[in-house]
Amino acid sequence: MALNTRKNFASVFCSRQHRQPANGHTRPVVDLAFSGFTEKGYFLISACKDGKPMMRQGDTGDWLGTFEGHKGAVWGVALSQDASKAASGAADFIAKVWDAVTGEEIHSFQ
């Protein structure tokens, strides 16, 4: 099945009928966020109950990296339009801002 749009991609992964761990995650994905289109395409970040947000290439779903540092399920994520920064909020009551290129934590809010 070809998935040509963000809407189609998100609907497959977020559908309540298809609640399965995404390849690479060990628990269900609970949120997705997309970047705008960049010269390298577009990107997405996934929030998951395993506590490890993952960055992926938007058109293929290929894994690019995992943001590690939360101590609980990650419930929400955001990605800047240029895909340079990511944010995550988790059950550990901490929100983090990440450099989406290097994976380094920029700031943590408690």
Per residue in 34-60, pLDDT tens?
999 998 999 999 999 998 999 999 988
- On whether residue 72 sits in a domain, the answer given is yes
Query: For residues 30 and 73, what is the distance between their CA atoms, to the nearest angstrom?
Result: 9
- On whether residue 103 sits in a domain, the answer given is yes
pLDDT for the residue numbered 5? 39
- On whether residue 61 sits in a domain, the answer given is yes
- On whether residue 20 sits in a domain, the answer given is yes
- On whether residue 86 sits in a domain, the answer given is yes
How many domains are contained in the chain?
Answer: 1
CATH number of the domain where residue 71 is located: 2.130.10.10
Query: For residues 81 and 79, what is the distance between their CA atoms, to the nearest angstrom?
Result: 7
pTM score: 0.74
Question: What's the mean pLDDT in 96-107?
Answer: 94
Instruction: Give the highest mean pLDDT range of 35-39, 64-68, 76-80.
Output: 76-80
What residue numbers bound the domain in which 46 lies? 6-109
- On whether residue 1 sits in a domain, the answer given is no
